[in-house]
Structure 1
Amino acid sequence: MTLPNKYDWKKLQLFCQEVFEKAGVLKKNAEIVADSLIQADLRGVDSHGVVRTAIYVERIEKNMINPFADPEIEAEDTSTVLVNGNNNLGAVVGTKAVEIAMEKAKANGAAIVGVKGSNHFGTGAFYTLKAIEKDMILLVMSNASQTMPPTGGKRPFIGTNPLAIGVPAGKEAPFILDMATSVVARGKIIVASQKGQDIPLGWAVDKNGKPTTNADDALEGAVLPVGGPKGYAISMFIDILAGVLTGAGFGKYVHNMYENWDEPQNVGHIFIAIDINRFIPIELFKERIDRYISEIKAEPKADGVEEILIPGEIEFRKVIERKKNGIELPEKVAAELDNIGQRYGVDLAKAVFSKNEFVNQEEVINKC
């Protein structure tokens, strides 16, 4: 049976939420995780969207994730906090940590929250958007399991350890940098493999350290650092902060969620929140950042370039487009979700996108 490939974002989010609840996740936490996945798909980051539902559910089912454990504060000072995620879902742990970071920053101007005992936490942009809503700047870093070799090596040692930065604006779209320290996130290679597509040369090497365009061979090998030794160095630094400093796993001690079924992942994160009002009144800041952005976009364009964009702007527009026109899922992903839904008695068909349904455009724009 061929499944539909377009789904309504709200209904698909509800489908995922109900699946997680049926799998044993508390309702409030299921809402967070489903929101995290849908926000990734809406932004066009399909590698971190509902494609991750199956592996999250499987790890819950096999007791590799504890959906009942509350994240807890292990150490706390005026502007620093260490959170133990107690092996709950990464989006749940990350949300708790960013809430603490924003609360501390509001009270003290800035705050750093380190996290250990977490899991894959989705996209960094998911957390930066929470800070932007509160008129704060947020830096997010996380380590990940071994998928990238050090420069000069040929086998994976460090993760594609992501960095995200969110800065609010006024009339302009906010600045949101959300990047892996590899040429491409490994999740994009997973998606290419699921679609049976080749990948560009330069993304990855095979298990023998040879360049490859075959997605399956790349998954057996390693992705490459962005900018060569520079990306490697940044990834290593993130691993030091998120892993070594927090007491989480680092290097080979961050366990692969697809391959290790004996130990929790023990992922580490870092959240750095800055209260803009401690430096400059927020309205003045927004005026200045709008001016900065508009002046960048007004710069002379290179041949063949129609528009200069800022980080996060493509994704901002993608959210509007996908809320209006639906989220397109690869057939394999839709089949996976359908299978999970059947096991838990949740009907994926109810999430199918219909062009005839009314879309409130103002609501769409306001929630981007």
Structure 2
Amino acid sequence: MGKRYDYQAIKQWVKRIYDAYGFSENDSAIIARSITATDLYGIESHGVQRLAMYDRKINAGDIKVDAVPEVICETPVSAVLDGHKGMGQLVAGKAMRLAIEKAEQSGVGIVSVRHSNHYGMAGYYAKMASDKGMVGISATNSNPFLIPTYATQPFLGSNPLAFSMPAQPHSFLFDAATTVVSLGKIEVYAKRGKTVPGAWAVDESNEISKDAKKLRKNLSAAPKIGGMLPVGGKGEKNGGYKGFGNALIVEILTSILSQGHLSADLGSGTVKGISHFFTAIDLHLFGDPGEISESLSVMLERIRNLPAETGEKIYIHGDKEAAAFEDRLKNGILIDSETVKEMAEISEQLHIPYQMYL
């Protein structure tokens, strides 16, 4: 399963890695904070587990260390940002900060992004807005993983959508892929030698497979072998067309609005660059923000207190993340041995001493 490691030590280790790549002190700190905060929230698929992928992309030139994101189209309430293949966490952070600034001035800010990279946890950016007392929305496309209903090859990405809004005792935070799970979760299962517990993806024969290592290998190939199922699964009986439709909406908000690359065209050849979408909405547009937030808090508490199945507890989106955050901040973040090995190998290549962080 892995071991617990001190959050501050791991964050410092990650920062030193990005310092060594050539990022500025400030940018390295932003990247390290975003990546390790994801582990604090218990989203292990998108935290330090992703360092090996980022390392490959930096070395291949797919992530440009010296990239400067550029606003190429702008109004008082909107903007299109070209990431110029920069580190996704940096491009996304700038885009959401711009959306928040516009919302502070005009009530709403909408920023679409093209030519970026994997940005980690979608909810991290939505929560940037809710931390400012606003509604936050974040979405991204990705390499092609999702097989549309009745198709036999992937076309859309895992295309997650996140939504956050201020509430008590913590913000409401929904963050989910439009595939049954993200690729990162399959990678975590493969690293831990675990079998996939559900109908998450299909193999080269379009048959559901539960072999995590095989699925990781197939989905890392170019072109992809097999693919991932939309929320609702194969066909229409359990609503798979709904997950497919939600993935299409994310694709429209990201690649179409920004005029970036479609998920279908990424992941092989020379076409590179992921697209994102961010929105910040000032609650003052609808009345008193405190009253609106209180109404949300009361509703969520009513749901938590509904009669539950025997032995079960009702959770609201964000509850588990908030609990994980408190636990891991105090007791350390959980990292599997394969990921620690990957981090050590990256450090050795960059001539960074790392034993003091373990």
Unaligned segments of structure 1, at least 5 residues: 353-368
Match of 1:331 in 2: 337
Give, in whole Å, the separation in 1 of the partners of 2:16 and 2:263: 35
CA contact (8 A) 1:83 1:113 kept: yes
Q: How many Å separate the matches in 2 of 1:263 and 1:88?
A: 16
- The separation in 1 between residues aligned to 2:334 and 2:78, in whole angstroms, is 41
Asked whether 1:298 is paired with 2:305, we answer yes
Letter in 1 for 2:306: E
The residue aligned with 1:103 is 101
Structure 2 residue runs of 5 or longer lacking an equivalent are 219-225, 233-239
What residue number does 2:29 align with?
Answer: 31
Deviations 1:41-91 (A, max 9, x none): 111111101011122122212222112121110000121100011110011
Q: Who is 1:243 aligned against?
A: 255
Give the distance between the partners of 1:193 and 1:250, measured in 2 at CA.
28
Partner of 2:228: 223
After TM superposition, what 4+ stretches of structure 1 lie above 6 angstroms from structure 2?
none
Provide, for residues 87-127 of structure 1, a one-character-per-residue CA deviation record: whole Å limited to 9, x for no partner: 10011000000000001011111121110010001111111
- Specify the alignment match of 1:270 in structure 2: 277
Q: Give the Cα separation in 1 of the matches to 2:285 and 2:179.
A: 34
TM value normalised by structure 1:
0.89
CA distance in structure 2 between the partners assigned to 1:133 and 1:264 by the alignment: 35
Which amino acid is the alignment partner of residue 246 of structure 2?
I
* 8 Å contact from structure 1 (residues 192, 199) kept in 2: yes
Please tell me whether the aligned partners of residues 6 and 327 of structure 1 are also in contact (alpha carbons under 8 angstroms).
yes
Residue 35 of structure 2: SS of its match in structure 1? helix
Alignment of 1:210 onto 2:207? yes
Q: TM-score, normalised by structure 2?
A: 0.92
Task: For 2:286 and 2:356, locate their aligned partners in 1 and report how far apart those are by CA, in whole Å.
Answer: 49
Q: Is the 8 A contact 2:158 2:182 kept in 1?
A: yes
Q: Percent identity?
A: 30
Residue 232, structure 1, aligned to residue 278, structure 2 = no
> In structure 2, what residue type is equivalent to 1:112?
I
- Provide Cα deviations, 1:195-242, integer angstroms capped at 9, x if missing partner: 222102311111221111101332312111002111011101211220
Aligned equivalents of 1:294 and 1:6: distance in 2? 32
2:198 aligns with 201
Distance 1:66 1:223 in 2: 29
CA distance in 2, matches of 1:51, 1:192: 12
Match of 2:315 in 1: 309
The residue type equivalent to 1:246 in the other structure is S
Deviation at 1:264, TM superposition (A): 5.9
| CA positional deviation for 1:323 | 1.2
Tell me the C-alpha RMSD between the 2 structures. 1.5
Aligned positions, number = 342
Partner Cα distance (1:288, 1:324) in 2: 31
Verify: 1:7 aligned to 2:14, yes or no: no
The one-letter amino acid paired with 1:314 is K
In 2: Cα distance, 1:97 partner to 1:264 partner: 22
Partners of 1:20 and 1:251 in 2: CA distance: 27
The reply on whether 1:153 has 2:158 as its aligned counterpart is: no
Q: Is the 8 A contact 2:261 2:271 kept in 1?
A: no
Alignment partner of 1:265: what SS?
Answer: coil
Offset from partner CA, 1:271-295 (integer Å, 9 cap, x none) = 1110012212222223222222222
The amino acid across from 2:175 in the alignment is D
CA distance in structure 2 between the aligned counterparts of 1:102 and 1:34, rounded to whole angstroms: 22
Q: Give deviations 1:173-208, integer Å, cap 9, x for gaps.
A: 210000000111111101111222210231111122
* SS across alignment from 2:144: coil
Q: Distance in 2 between matches of 1:147 and 1:195?
A: 22
The answer to whether 1:319 aligns with 2:319 is no
Matched to 2:206, the amino acid is: G
Which residue identity does 1:213 align to in structure 2? K
Rounded Cα–Cα distance in structure 2 between residues aligned with 1:243 and 1:328: 34
Letter in 2 for 1:187: G
**Cα distance in 1 for residues equivalent to 2:29 and 2:36:** 11
